[in-house]
Structure 1
Amino acid sequence: MASVPVPAETRYLLLARGMRAFVDGYVAVLLPVYLLALGLGTWEVGLLSTATLLGSSLMTVAVGVWGHRFHHRHLLRAASVLMVLTGLGFAALSDLWPLLVVAFVGTLNPSSGDVSVFLPLEHARLAHSGDGHARTSVFARYSLVGALCAAIGSLAAAVPDQLAKLGVGTLPALRGMFVVYALAGLAIWSLYRRLPRPDEPLPVPPAPLGASRGVVARLAALFSVDAFAGGLMVQSLLALWLFKRFDMSLAAAGAFFFWTGLLSAASQLAAPWVARRIGLLNTMVFTHIPSSVALIAAAFAPRVEVALGLLLVRAALSQMDVPTRSAFVMSVVTPSERVAAASYTAVPRSLAASLSPSLGGALLAAGWMAAPLVLCGALKIGYDLVLLAAFRGVERGSRQSL
């Protein structure tokens, strides 16, 4: 990866990704704690997670349908303004329904990955940074930065506890963390100002889906199954599971998610090396299945040490498909279709993922502690097997073009 040159625009996008991942990292851990501190319940945590993902998916739909009519710079700056407003809204509001509105229209991310409207816009620009394996390396670097910064952000989830030792109330400290989220959005807005201006031509003018519509539709349908499964155990719900099942402290949960983030980052760093040897599709599938098995096993772990060990194994494998999946999608469509393809494959993922957190929260609230983990793992294994069978031929064709 070190041999891949990094253009200035790519550096700005990587820095913006890192800043978003940092604040997303602690928000995913703090969100259930904050909502419970406001007097809301377990089911409401899942409901708010659903609202955030559903709103993000609808915005991504808009980008897929109309995004080619606007310059990426304008859209990214508008999204960063929305991020500022989201942080301020969560810091100021306390009641469920206003928070649901902010969650729906905002950019809050309750999961360990990036499911926001930023994703397809940044992916489309990154796709022009290289071809073939170089493109995979760029996406791996993008995912690596996100994973590392999210891991560090998870450690920041302990800040409210540290402030409490200094006499700051828990609720004001939690609200302050959302103000920091808003400030990060402002900094990201300033970074996007440095992207090419509208009067500077894009490398390839974007266009709606055309010749690649069929393969994109099939990929989108399968990705939605994977996303629905993942939504059952978004990071906020996994943190809630650890709090309820093992009475884990906020500081311990933050440290645990820091290490899972580091393992995820290491796996994404290794993804291009693995993909060069066994292919993008095989990398996606043959690392994903063992991680799902580890998740199912964690559901029945008798002690917290065993559960955390299995979840660490999962973290070391489960995200290796992220850069390879992005590179695979970009490799099977024409350059002009990349914005639309990134959006159309992200939309079903976001929609599907938005439906399942409320289900996962309801299962936890009902006392079925193992159910969300088992269902998540089983659905992901089924997705991997179908993906391998359906796209093995497409994988061969795309590798020949790399």
Structure 2
Amino acid sequence: MNSSVHSHLLWARGLRAFADGYVSLLLPLYLLALGMGPFQVGILATGTLFGSGVLTLLVGLYAHRLKYRVLLSMAGLLMAGTGFGFAAVTDFWPLLMIAIVGTLNPSSGDVSVFLPLEHAVLSGAVDEHRRTALFARYSLIGALAGALGALFAGAPDVMAATANLDTKTALQAMFVLYGVLGLVSALIYATLPMEVGANEQNVPPAPLHKSKRVVYTLAALFSLDAFGGGFVVQSMVALWLFEKFQLSISVAGAIFFWTGILSAFSYLAASRIANRFGLVNTMVFTHLPSSVFLILVPLMPTLSWAVLLLLARSALSQMDVPTRSSYVMAIVPPEERAAAASITAVPRSLASAASPLLAGYLLGASTFGWPLVIAGGLKIIYDLLLLGTFRNIRPPEESDRKR
């Protein structure tokens, strides 16, 4: 794959992450402005994750029959339709339908259909010894753009003050921008070569066969992690901060900007740590302390302490993202990578889909922060199970180092 294709994918990743960064914060505010409560916010977040999971699963099963360029371009158009739909519709049930079929992302990370498609293309860009670094760069760009998007979430306040707009109209303008960024992404994908992703390994994409057992085991473990993560998707953490500390969107945006920056640079550290200690060890031993921090956040007596722990968690919690992606791509045959990426990514939507609904219910009943405690506990269980199951299944580059 030439460098222009590589750069095109990274540009599209950055645009989408920027849009996700501000939409994940503005979504609960927009729904509250429409007269909905925390439980309805949770239902909408659940709908977005459930729909993304179903679509990603379909891609995993049938991506080998279509061209990656076509699938990515179609996904970009779907993103555009999602943004324009949320800007135009204000009733709960139509919004829920748009959330289910669209690409809206209540999380700070990428849980959409774009992820497995781009992973499958990128995995053929470099040899196995540089693959983790490439995924770290991909994640770094997404995290930096997402952090800028979180900071941009304060734009509706500026628009309301300078352009004499009401809050609802200013928020709808941000969803229109989300749709425009989807159109731009679709145009970027449309410039990719038609055969991109098909021949890097001289084999066509295929459904799971040789790696079925290991991929399904990983998918089950990722389901547990994703279910826990669904309690603390960015929209729900933002909602907790709004309800608990009465934060303005500008202050919340600044907080999530810095959590995004810390997550971004942790991706670079993840690559170096993985080169020395291995992918599975990096995934587990950076994730464990971040989960402990998450449990402690609601116990903090002041906003300052809570934010400090959220920042500490962000410096560690995302190191497993590039390492996890690299590990999945490493231990399956090249022709099964698209299917493996999709089927292990699906839990990040499907298994987490019920969690925001439960988190919304818990936040409606109490401002303590039970969703954060539950998420941290589930993630610790996931880490221990992952270590026990996969510590002896090494990717090729680690096996080479052992020899």
Aligned to 2:177: 180
**Cα distance in 1 between the residues matched to 2:27 and 2:5:** 32
Pairwise CA distance, 1:398: 6.0
Aligned to 1:210: 209
The answer on whether the counterparts of 2:128 and 2:396 sit within 8 Å (CA) in structure 1 is no
**Cα distance in 2 between the residues matched to 1:202 and 1:169:** 52
Please give the TM-score of this superposition, normalised by the length of structure 1.
0.97
**Cα distance in 2 between the residues matched to 1:256 and 1:360:** 21
**Cα distance in 2 between the residues matched to 1:395 and 1:354:** 31
**Cα distance in 2 between the residues matched to 1:315 and 1:127:** 26
Cα deviations across residues 178-208 of structure 1 (Å, max 9, x unaligned)? 0000000111111101211149953231001
Secondary structure of 1:33's match? Answer: helix
Aligned to 1:100: 96
Please give the TM-score of this superposition, normalised by the length of structure 2.
0.96
**Cα distance in 1 between the residues matched to 2:198 and 2:288:** 42
Aligned ranges 1:135-146 → 2 under 5 Å: 135-146=131-142
Aligned to 1:327: 326
Pairwise CA distance, 1:397: 6.1
**Cα distance in 1 between the residues matched to 2:68 and 2:217:** 26
* Aligned with 1:74 (options 61, 70, 83): 70
> Which letter maps to 1:367?
S
Aligned to 2:143: 147
Cα deviations across residues 189-246 of structure 1 (Å, max 9, x unaligned)? 1110121114995323100111111110110000000000000011000000011111
Pairwise CA distance, 1:131: 2.1
Aligned ranges 1:1-400 → 2 under 5 Å: 7-166=3-162, 167-198=164-195, 202-203=199-200, 204-367=203-366, 369-395=368-394, 399-400=398-399
The answer on whether the counterparts of 1:289 and 1:384 sit within 8 Å (CA) in structure 2 is yes
Pairwise CA distance, 1:132: 2.2
The answer on whether the counterparts of 1:31 and 1:110 sit within 8 Å (CA) in structure 2 is yes
**Cα distance in 2 between the residues matched to 1:89 and 1:150:** 22
Secondary structure of 2:391's match? Answer: helix
> Which letter maps to 2:172?
R
Pairwise CA distance, 1:399: 1.7
1:284 to 1:88, Cα distance in 2 relative to 1, 3 A:
same
Secondary structure of 1:165's match? Answer: helix
Pairwise CA distance, 1:9: 1.0
Pairwise CA distance, 1:371: 1.1
> Which letter maps to 1:293?
V
Pairwise CA distance, 1:349: 2.5
> Which letter maps to 1:70?
L
Cα deviations across residues 3-49 of structure 1 (Å, max 9, x unaligned)? xx972111111100000000100000000000000111110110000
Cα deviations across residues 255-296 of structure 1 (Å, max 9, x unaligned)? 000000000001011111110111111110010011011111
Shift >6 Å, 4+ stretches = none
The answer on whether the counterparts of 1:47 and 1:358 sit within 8 Å (CA) in structure 2 is yes
The answer on whether the counterparts of 1:84 and 1:182 sit within 8 Å (CA) in structure 2 is yes
**Cα distance in 1 between the residues matched to 2:367 and 2:32:** 19
**Cα distance in 2 between the residues matched to 1:163 and 1:217:** 48
**Cα distance in 2 between the residues matched to 1:337 and 1:201:** 11
Cα deviations across residues 356-378 of structure 1 (Å, max 9, x unaligned)? 11011111011152211110000
> Which letter maps to 2:385?
V
**Cα distance in 2 between the residues matched to 1:81 and 1:171:** 25
Query: Unpaired runs of 5+ in structure 2?
Result: none
Secondary structure of 1:94's match? Answer: coil
How much is the aligned-residue C-alpha RMSD, in angstroms?
A: 1.4
User: Number of matched residues?
Assistant: 398
Secondary structure of 2:153's match? Answer: helix
**Cα distance in 2 between the residues matched to 1:121 and 1:380:** 26
1:113 to 1:337, Cα distance in 2 relative to 1, 3 A:
same
**Cα distance in 2 between the residues matched to 1:368 and 1:189:** 40
363-372 or 236-245: bigger deviation: 363-372
Pairwise CA distance, 1:390: 0.4
The answer on whether the counterparts of 1:332 and 1:398 sit within 8 Å (CA) in structure 2 is no
Query: Unpaired runs of 5+ in structure 1?
Result: none
**Cα distance in 2 between the residues matched to 1:72 and 1:200:** 7
**Cα distance in 2 between the residues matched to 1:25 and 1:83:** 14
Cα deviations across residues 41-67 of structure 1 (Å, max 9, x unaligned)? 110110000000000000011111111
